Amino acid sequence: MAKEFSTITAISLLLLLAQTTEAQSGVFDVTKYGAKAGNTDISQAILSAWKEACASTSASKIVVPAGTYLMNEMTLQGPCKGPLELQIQGTLKAPDDPSQFKQAGWLTVERVDQFTLSGTGTLDGQGPTAWTQNHCDKNPECKQFAMNMRFNSVTNSVVRNITSLDSKNFHVNLLGCKNMTFDHFTITAPENSVNTDGIHIGRSSGINIIDSNIKTGDDCVSVGHGSQQITVERVTCGPGHGISVGSLGRYKNEQPVSGVTVKNCTLINTSNGVRVKTWPASPAAGTAADMHFEDIIMNNVGNPVVIDQEYCPYNQCTSKEPSLVKISNVSFKNIRGTSSTRVAVKLVCSKGNPCENVEIGDIDLSYSGAGGPATSQCANIKPTFSGKQNPPTCVNSAQSS
C-alpha cells in the first residue's frame, strides 16, 4: 500500500512538474485551465492563461488546440511584461443571440505591445441572426452589434493565418493602433451580410494588410479618419463594397488621413472598386491626402475608380451643402479589367473645396452592358493624365470645372 501511494505521489509530482515546466517555457495550453471542446464556454480558461502569460517577462504563447469551442465576449488587457502570442488552432464560436453581448466586441485586445494572433483556426461570429435584425439602413441611431475582433491601442503586433467568419458587425476594428500587420488573414461572410466591413482602421498608423483574402458584405477595407501610413497590398476582395478611404466628414473634430497605398490588389464582383468617399454638409473641415491606388485588377466591379464627395447613403444627410473635406495628392494608376456599371471612372469632388493634384494614369476598363461603352463622370476636378485612358476621363471640360 505504501509502495502504491509512493507511485501515485511520484506520478502526481511528475505531472505537476511537466505542467510547471510547460508554463516556465512560455507555453500556456488552455486545456490545462479547464477548457474543453464542445458546448462549454472557454472564456475563463483563456483569461486565466492570459493572466499568467501576461505576467511573464519572457515571450509567452497561449494555445487553443484543435477542436470546436464556445466563447463568450472577452477582453484581453495589457500592458504585459513580455511579448505574447495567442495561437488558435481550433474553431471558436460566438453566442448566436446578439442580445447576449454587452460590449461592441466579441474578442477585444487592448493596450498590448508585441502581440501575435496566429494559428490556422477560425473565429466564427455566427452572424446570420444579427444580420436579419440590422435596420441601420432605415435608422441611423440603430443598435450596433458585436464585432468579431477589436484592437484598441495595440502596437507592434501581427495577425497571421487566422480566419474571421460571419461576424455580426465589422470583422475587425482598429482604434489607436500603431505598427500592426495582417498577413495571410482570411475574412469570410456572404454578400448579403449587413455592415460586415472586413477591416476598419481608425486613428491608427503604420497598418499593413498583405497577402490576404476578404469576402464580405461591406467594405473589404475601410480607412477612417486619423489614419496614416496605411498599406493594402496583394489583397483579394470580393464580394463586398470594395476598398475605401472613408467615409469622412460626417462628424466634428475628425483627424486628417494621409499616406494610404493600395497596390497589387484584385477585386472580384464587388459593388465598388477603389474609392475615396466624404459626406456633404460636413460639420467641420478635414483633409485626406497622399492616397495612391496602383496595379489593381477589376473583375466585374461596379464603379471601379471613385472619388465621391457627395456620399450620402440612405439619404441620411443634406446633400445640397458641399463637403468641406479637402482631397489632394491622389493617384490612380494601372487599373484594368471589367466594370459592371457604365460609369467606370467617377471623380465627383466638392464644389466648395475641389480636389487638387489628382493623377489618372493607364486606366483600361471595359463595359459590355446596355447603354454603350464605359464612360466617366467628373465634377470640380482638373486631373492630370498619363498613359492609356479607357474610358476617356473627364473629356468634357464643363464637367471637370
Task: Tell me the C-alpha distance between 204 and 262, whole Å.
Answer: 16
Contacts of 19 (CB under 8 A, 6+ apart): 32
The residue whose grid cell reads 457627395 is: 310
3-state secondary structure at position 32: helix
Which grid cell sits at 313? Answer: 447613403
Closest listed residue to residue 345, CA positions, set 321, 368, 361, 324: 361
Residue 79, classified by CB atoms within 10 Å of its CB into exposed (0-12), middle (13-18) or buried (19+), is exposed
Task: Tell me the CA distances in angstroms from 78 to 48, 66, 109, 149, 151, one per residue in order.
Answer: 14, 26, 8, 16, 12
DSSP 202: E
DSSP 33: G
Which grid cell sits at 258? Answer: 494621409
Query: Could you say which of 218, 219, 290, 308 is catalytic?
Result: 218
For residue 135, indicate whether it is catalytic. no
If you write DSSP's letter for every residue of 232-262 in order, what string do you get?
EEEEEE-SSS-EEEEEESSSTTPPPEEEEEE
For residue 290, indicate whether it is catalytic. no
If you write DSSP's letter for every residue of 280-327 in order, what string do you get?
SS-SS-EEEEEEEEEEEEEEEESS-EEEETT--GGG-S-TTSPP-EEE
Task: Tell me the CA distances in angstroms from 223 to 84, 245, 280, 312, one per residue in order.
Answer: 27, 5, 18, 17
Query: Could you say which of 197, 219, 241, 308 is catalytic?
Result: 241
3-state secondary structure at position 368: coil
Q: Do the beta carbons of residue 132 and residue 101 sit within 8 Å?
A: no
Catalytic residues: 218, 241
